[in-house]
Amino acid sequence: MTKIQDADTGVTEAGQSGQAQSSVSTVHRLRSVLAIRPFRRLWLVTYLCSVGDWLSLLALTGLVSEMMNSYQWQSFALSLVVLTQLLPGILFAPIGGVLADKFDRRKVMVICDVLRGSLFISIALIGSPIWLFVANFLVGCCAMLWIPAKESAVPNLLRRPDQVESANQLGLVMTYGISTISGFGLYSLVSGIPGYLNLQGGNLEFRIATIAVMINGLLYFTSAVLVATRLPELSGRIASAPKKDADKPGFVAMFRDGLRFAAATPLVRGLVIGMIGAFAAAGVVIATAKLYAQSLLGGASTFGLLFVAVFVGLAIGMATAPRLAQRLAYNRLFGVTIVGAGITLVLVALAPHLWIALLTVALVGTCAGVAFLTGLTIVGSQVEDEMRGRTVALIQSLLKIVLFGASAGAPLLVALLQKRTVSVFGHPMEVDATRPVMLGGAAIAIVLGLVAYRQMDDRREEPVLSSLFAAIRGRRNTKGLLIAVEGDTREDTSVQARRLAAALRAEGLDVLLAADPEHDERRLRTMLSSAELAGVRAQALVAAAVRADVVERQVRPALDEGSVVVMERYVDSPLAHFTATSSLEHQELEGLVDWATGRLRPDLTILLDRPVADGKAIGLEHHWRVQRLLSEMAAADPDRYVVVEADGDADAVAERVRSAVVPLLATRKRAVPEAAV
């Protein structure tokens, strides 16, 4: 975000480097989410529970190994621990979704955390291997009830729908990054305590594992206390028509309604189909990774490098997903990246050398990271609150079922196919069985990714390939440029929009000054005066209808022709005013705006920042709230905004605006010299 205070000071270059801009934007977006106190506290709870999950994997494995005297049983210790945590996802995830939608989500989370803590303490106290597996299964059941409640509550803690993606990024970094390192590090620390204290005698390994299990239980008890006492916001829901208890459907009916909703809603149906394809391919890769490493003439080190490449790719995908989503709609990006993962998996199956395999495996991870984050964002921002828990649970259940089936079926196929020798141009070549199995997984991902794309695509009139290439290049799939002038008062935005259009024409650009939306709003309200549009919802519908008409008739055609479009009070100012003056949820208004504009967002927004210094007390309060909301919007997406001081005469402000915009347009022309032809 660039802030222009005076024409004489010049312009802070917003285009110094695309990488720097991306970094600044990411930092601002994540900070704006972490600034929300309830989410920050839930993030801490996620940390405690995730550390407990990773610590339990090591602690229970160590405990099983010490309880079992048989070498054969000890060799299966990790597999049995993982299996008893995997099975609950198949059986109990749908139940967790219904509980998350039917009951208070905070109470569900507290009860599950207390149960998990108690079960881990009981494992340490009872000391029986049979009870260990039973309790671990029950812990997995509690987790499958806890996860849908937590995930479905996150969007309700945020200020705007566009923060869901950043919240998901932070959640994934915490779960699979910070918590993983903390959990493994904590286990190493506990394991080293006897050595540090020079303790000897007895079964030290057993005592170490027992201590780790006890610590695990305390982590979940701490999480329960924090959720119960510091996160009352988790009990909140998106405002809807109140229902009496007698009118609420029963448990079975809610479960049936959730399945019917997933089957009847194209968005969710496509999401589920795409997830099946992605998880099936992932299961095939996991199951064949060891033998695939051997086919590359490598051993354990090659196996480790392949997994490192996957996780590096996942991190890159999750980091770049927000940038791609700015130019390609989530509904399209999800299916496209699953197809991309399938295509790159074909390259993995055909890779003849280790370095080619590592590169292509990283590409698979990148596509998977984008798809995973995009899918979570779609659920959090586009699935209504009353169905969100069941949708999350359905995805969790599919993840376990498909991964389990693919992981079990792929080795059987490898065993049936075995290694075969084929002749290529008269030369014998040995083909490992993992290669055709990977090709099969790739085919499944490509086919189901295409089906998901067709189900979810809401812009079929726009060619997907050109949109995708434009997203990769970092620009919208149009030749023109949309500049919005936003501010608290119509007087400021109207004058500065006209002067900016004139200044850009003087630079030799083809400029369209789009129609004044508020003039059309007043005209439409006059035409509909008999309807007495006093309600806020009716006024919001009028504003949305006018902008939809302007975008369809003027803005999009001009952009397609390569013109620069200047429009005042495009989206942000109306959103801020309606949010400041009404009880409407900001999410409702965002959804209305997305529908009206076809999710068309400006390439550059000029925010006129004028201090509120006079007026009545009520007016001052309103203007202050509007300015604060506009400033928050700018802070959340800094590389799309230029904030200009609007204090002073119109000529001075116009010069500041011109000084901010003209160099940015010149930078854009140099970066894509052929884009406008």
pLDDT tens string 10-33: 333 333 333 333 333 567 678 878
Residues 6+ apart with CB under 8 A from 77: 61, 64, 65, 68
Per-residue confidence (pLDDT) for residue 267, from 0 to 100: 87
pLDDT tens string 344-384: 999 999 888 888 999 998 999 899 888 988 988 888 878 88
Element (H, E) at 420: strand 420-424
Using CA atoms of 298, 410, 366, 305 in order, give the dihedral in degrees to the nearest 10: -20
How far apart CA 108 and CA 183 sit, in angstroms, is 25
| Residue 224 identity (one-letter amino acid) | A
Per-residue confidence (pLDDT) for residue 119, from 0 to 100: 94
Beta strand pairing call for 481-487 and 427-431: unpaired
Spacing of C-alpha 176 from chain mean position: 14
How far apart CA 292 and CA 358 sit, in angstroms, is 12
**Residue 235 in tokens:** 């009990």
How far apart CA 643 and CA 330 sit, in angstroms, is 28
Q: What angle do CA 238, 240, 241 make, to 5 degrees?
A: 160
Instruction: Give yes or no for residue 71 having a pLDDT over 60.
Output: no
How far apart CA 147 and CA 150 sit, in angstroms, is 5
How far apart CA 292 and CA 299 sit, in angstroms, is 10
Per-residue confidence (pLDDT) for residue 17, from 0 to 100: 33
pLDDT band at 580 (very low <50, low <70, confident <90, very high): confident
Per-residue confidence (pLDDT) for residue 207, from 0 to 100: 76
Per-residue confidence (pLDDT) for residue 48, from 0 to 100: 94
Per-residue confidence (pLDDT) for residue 509, from 0 to 100: 84
Q: Which residue has the higher pLDDT, 489 or 265?
A: 265
pLDDT band at 479 (very low <50, low <70, confident <90, very high): low
Q: Which range in 36-50, 55-69, 327-341 is most confidently predicted, on average pLDDT?
A: 36-50
How far apart CA 337 and CA 318 sit, in angstroms, is 12
Residues 6+ apart with CB under 8 A from 393: 93, 94, 95, 96, 97, 98, 100, 144, 147, 148, 258
Per-residue confidence (pLDDT) for residue 332, from 0 to 100: 83
pLDDT band at 231 (very low <50, low <70, confident <90, very high): very high
Instruction: Give yes or no for residue 446 having a pLDDT over 80.
Output: yes
**What is the residue whose two structure tokens read 């259009």?**
501
Residue 442: which of 290, 336, 340 has the closest Cα?
A: 340
Per-residue confidence (pLDDT) for residue 8, from 0 to 100: 39
Per-residue confidence (pLDDT) for residue 223, from 0 to 100: 95
How far apart CA 97 and CA 394 sit, in angstroms, is 7
- Hey, what long-range contacts does 343-352 have (CB within 8 A, 24 or more apart)? 343/442, 343/446, 345/281, 345/285, 345/438, 345/441, 345/442, 345/445, 346/439, 346/442, 348/285, 348/438, 348/442, 349/434, 349/435, 349/436, 349/438, 349/439, 349/442, 350/435, 351/296
* Average pLDDT, integer, range 647-666: 82
pLDDT tens string 309-339: 888 888 888 888 877 776 677 888 898 899 9
Per-residue confidence (pLDDT) for residue 10, from 0 to 100: 36
Element (H, E) at 566: strand 564-568
Residues 6+ apart with CB under 8 A from 364: 285, 310, 313, 341, 344, 345, 348
pLDDT band at 44 (very low <50, low <70, confident <90, very high): very high
Residues 6+ apart with CB under 8 A from 271: 334, 375, 378, 379, 391, 395, 452, 456
Instruction: Give yes or no for residue 169 having a pLDDT over 80.
Output: yes
Instruction: Give yes or no for residue 472 having a pLDDT over 60.
Output: no
**Residue 490 in tokens:** 């119509």
Instruction: Give yes or no for residue 511 having a pLDDT over 90.
Output: no
Region of poorest pLDDT, from 28-37, 50-59, 559-568, 605-614:
605-614
**Burial zone of 428 (CB within 10 Å; 0-12 exposed, 13-18 middle, 19+ buried):** exposed
Phi, psi of 52 (to 5 degrees): -60, -40
Q: Which residue has the higher pLDDT, 36 or 462?
A: 36
Region of poorest pLDDT, from 447-451, 576-580, 667-671:
667-671
Q: Which range in 410-419, 425-434, 510-519, 531-540 is most confidently predicted, on average pLDDT?
A: 410-419
CB 501, CB 511: distance < 8 Å = yes
Which residue segments constitute the domains of the chain, with CATH numbers given?
2-17+479-671 (3.40.50.300), 36-236 (1.20.1250.20), 263-477 (1.20.1250.20)
Per-residue confidence (pLDDT) for residue 42, from 0 to 100: 95
Q: Which range in 47-51, 257-261, 312-316, 541-545 is most confidently predicted, on average pLDDT?
A: 47-51
Per-residue confidence (pLDDT) for residue 197, from 0 to 100: 47
Per-residue confidence (pLDDT) for residue 627, from 0 to 100: 79
3-state secondary structure of 260: helix
Residue 336: which of 325, 350, 346 has the closest Cα?
A: 325
CB atoms within 10 A of CB 480: 23
pLDDT tens string 120-158: 999 888 888 889 889 989 998 899 889 999 988 898 888
CA distances in angstroms from 188 to 49, 212, 275, 595, listed in the order given: 18, 10, 35, 52
pLDDT band at 246 (very low <50, low <70, confident <90, very high): very low
**Residue 50 in tokens:** 């995730």
pLDDT band at 118 (very low <50, low <70, confident <90, very high): very high
pLDDT band at 90 (very low <50, low <70, confident <90, very high): low
* Alpha-carbon torsion (475, 573, 592, 530), positive or negative: negative
Instruction: Give yes or no for residue 217 having a pLDDT over 90.
Output: yes
Beta strand pairing call for 420-424 and 427-431: antiparallel
Q: Which residue has the higher pLDDT, 240 or 552?
A: 552
pLDDT band at 535 (very low <50, low <70, confident <90, very high): low
pLDDT band at 181 (very low <50, low <70, confident <90, very high): confident
